[in-house]
């Protein structure tokens, strides 16, 4: 049941708001997902409130998470479930059949190097007025 102060979108992508690669990926998804996803920066209070609903035994990865209904997906599971909903990326979902340990190893390899390869910003992305409907924390 969603918390009154923090309603839960059906499909929410939590991303690293200062990562250039992550922000570019969010831009691509918004242009190709037919409005399926909503977004929030992992660094936001909104993301912390949403994530407080999920009991975790280990720290969350710092690059991408997907909340789909009442389920939390991370690492390669999140990335491939997102890809399955995005025009131009649907073929990537075929990689879900590889062993998770292999998929997550590749995911972590890229995630650890994303700042070095693509850079990062000093502050989290602020959605444009046209994008705000896709960012629940900015709806008010």
Q: Render the chain in DSSP notation, one character per residue.
A: --BTTBPPPSEEEEE-TTBHHHHHHHHHHHHHSTT--EEEETTSHHHHHHHTTS--SSPPPSSEEEEETTEEEEHHHHHHHHHTTSTTTGGGGGGGGS-HHHHHHHHHHHHHHHHHHH-B-SS-----TTTGGG-GGG--
pLDDT of residue 3: 42
The confidence score (pLDDT) of residue 61 equals 67
Domain residue spans of the chain: 11-138
Residues of the chain where predicted confidence (pLDDT) is lower than 50: 1-5
pTM recorded for the entire structure: 0.85
pLDDT at 140: 59
pLDDT tens readout for residues 7-36: 556 899 999 988 899 989 999 999 999 889
Predicted confidence at residue 69, as pLDDT, reads: 86
């Amino acid at each position: 049941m969603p918390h009154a102060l923090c309603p839960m979108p059906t499909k929410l992508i939590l991303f690293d708001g200062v990562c250039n690669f992550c922000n570019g990926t969010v831009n691509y998804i918004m242009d190709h997902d037919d409005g399926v996803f909503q977004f929030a920066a992992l660094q936001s209070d909104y993301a912390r409130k949403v994530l407080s609903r999920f009991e975790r035994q280990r720290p969350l990865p710092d690059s991408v998470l997907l909340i789909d209904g009442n389920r939390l997906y991370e690492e390669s599971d999140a990335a491939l479930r997102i890809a399955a909903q995005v025009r131009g990326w649907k073929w990537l979902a075929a990689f879900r059949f590889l062993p998770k340990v292999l998929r997550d190893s590749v995911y972590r390899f890229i995630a650890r190097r994303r700042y070095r390869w693509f850079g990062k910003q000093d502050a989290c992305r602020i959605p444009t007025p046209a994008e705000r409907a896709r960012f629940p924390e900015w709806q008010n």
